[in-house]
A and B are shown apart, each in its own frame.
Chain A
Amino acid sequence: DTAVSQTPKYLVTQMGNDKSIKCEQNLGHDTMYWYKQDSKKFLKIMFSYNNKELIINETVPNRFSPKSPDKAHLNLHINSLELGDSAVYFCASSPFSSGELFFGEGSRLTVL
Chain B
Amino acid sequence: GEDVEQSLFLSVREGDSSVINCTYTDSSSTYLYWYKQEPGAGLQLLTYIFSNMDMKQDQRLTVLLNKKDKHLSLRIADTQTGDSAIYFCAELGTGKLIFGQGTTLQVKP
Contact = CB atoms under 8 A, between A and B. Distances in A.
Interface of A: 4, 40-45, 48, 55-56, 90, 92, 97, 99-106
B46 to A, nearest CB: 11
Interface stretch (B17-25, B62-70, B74-82, B92-100): B92-100
Given A41-B104, A92-B43, A100-B45, 6 more contacts: A41-B101, A43-B102, A100-B33, A101-B45, A103-B43, A105-B40
B interface majority secondary structure: strand
A43 B88 contact: yes
A41 B86 contact: yes
A41 B102 contact: yes
A29 B68 CA distance: 34
10 contacts: A4-B42, A41-B102, A56-B95, A92-B43, A100-B33, A100-B45, A101-B43, A103-B44, A105-B41, A106-B42
A48 B97 CA distance: 11
A24 B99 CA distance: 23
A37 to B, nearest CB: 9
Contacts of A99: 31, 33, 48, 90, 92, 97
A105 to B, nearest CB: 5
Name the residue among B31, B96, B98 with the largest chain A CB count within 10 angstroms.
Answer: B96
